[in-house]
Amino acid sequence: MEPIALTLGQKFEIEKFSREIDNSKDLQALRSIAKDLLVAWKQQQAASDWIMRQPRDL
C-alpha cells in the first residue's frame, strides 16, 4: 500500500497559511482558525474511521 503523502500544492498551501497565521495580530481570528481546524481534524478522523469500517470486497 502506498503511504499517504502531501502533494506539492498542499505543501504550498500549508506554507501560505502558516505565514498568514504567523503574521496575524488578531487573537480572535487565530482562535477562530484554531476552532475551525479542530472541527476539520475531527471530521477527517470520523471519515477515516467510517472508511475503515466499510466491508472490503477484493
Give me the DSSP letters along 21-57.
HHH---HHHHHHHHHHHHHHHHHHHHHHHHHHHS---
Beta-carbon contacts of residue 14 (< 8 Å; ≥ 6 apart): 6
For the stretch 4-52, pLDDT in tens is: 899 999 999 999 999 999 999 999 999 999 999 999 999 999 999 999 9
| Reported confidence tier of residue 58, pLDDT bands at 50, 70, 90 | low
Whether 19 is in a domain gets the answer no
The answer to whether residue 14 is domain-embedded is no
* 57 lies in some domain: no
Q: Is position 18 within any domain?
A: no
Establish if 32 belongs to a structural domain: yes
Q: Is residue 43 part of a domain?
A: yes
Instruction: Report residue 25 as a C-alpha cell.
Output: 495580530
User: Domain limits at 35?
Assistant: 28-52
User: What spatial distance separates the first Cα and last Cα of the chain, rounded to whole Å?
Assistant: 14
Contact of 19 with 13, CB cutoff 8 Å = no
